[in-house]
């Protein structure tokens, strides 16, 4: 079992819709949770981080964390074609210490 799992996609949504990206992790000691966006050929860009159970909103983005279910999600409201990218879920803490353990990423396609 991979430590951090994501559906590879592609996830296709129409412009203006809500995109929902999901991630599960195996290490119950994980403490910090991050979402990065990576455009093809570019480096990852941090878009959200969350430490506590519940929701955290920033603009069009909402991160959701459920530690009991070992589940993290990212919602993107009013999706735009420019949101088309690979979204990487990453966790640290627990057995991983301060290093980030990444999922394989979900490719999101927003169609005009």
Partner 1 sequence: EAGVTQSPTHLIKTRGQQATLRCSPISGHTSVYWYQQALGLGLQFLLWYDEGEERNRGNFPPRFSGRQFPNYSSELNVNALELEDSALYLCASSRGNNQPQHFGDGTRLSIL
Please identify, among the stretches 16-24, 52-60, 65-73, 100-108, the one whose residues bind partner 1 according to the rule CB under 8 A. Answer: 100-108
Which CB, 9 or 17, lies closer to partner 1? 9
* β-bridge pairing 106-111 and 11-14: parallel
Please tell me the distance from the alpha carbon of residue 49 to that of residue 32, in angstroms, as a whole number.
7
Please tell me the distance from the alpha carbon of residue 17 to that of residue 50, in angstroms, as a whole number.
23
Non-local (6+) Cβ contacts of 99 within 8 A are 92
Phi (first) and psi of residue 81, to 5 degrees: -55, -30
**If binding is defined by CB under 8 A, does position 87 make contact with partner 1?**
no
Min dist. Cβ of residue 14 to partner 1 (A): 28
* Binding mask of the shown chain, residues 33 to 52, with x at each position contacting partner 1 by CB under 8 A: -x-x-----xxxxx--x-x-
Total of chain residues touching partner 1, rule CB under 8 A: 24
The structure tokens listed for 45 are 């860009």
Residues that bind partner 1 (CB under 8 A): 31-32, 34, 36, 42-46, 49, 51, 88, 90, 92-93, 97-105
């Amino acid at each position: 079992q991979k430590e951090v799992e994501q559906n590879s996609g592609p996830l296709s949504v129409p412009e203006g819709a809500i995109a929902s990206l999901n991630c599960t992790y195996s290490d119950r000691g994980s403490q910090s949770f991050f979402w990065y966006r990576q455009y093809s050929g570019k480096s990852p860009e941090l878009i959200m981080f969350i430490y506590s159970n519940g929701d955290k909103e920033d603009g069009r983005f909402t991160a959701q964390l459920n530690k009991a279910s070992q589940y993290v999600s990212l919602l993107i409201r009013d999706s735009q074609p420019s949101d088309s990218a690979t979204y990487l879920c990453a966790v640290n803490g627990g057995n991983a210490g301060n290093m980030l353990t990444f999922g394989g990423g979900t490719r999101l396609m927003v169609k005009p």
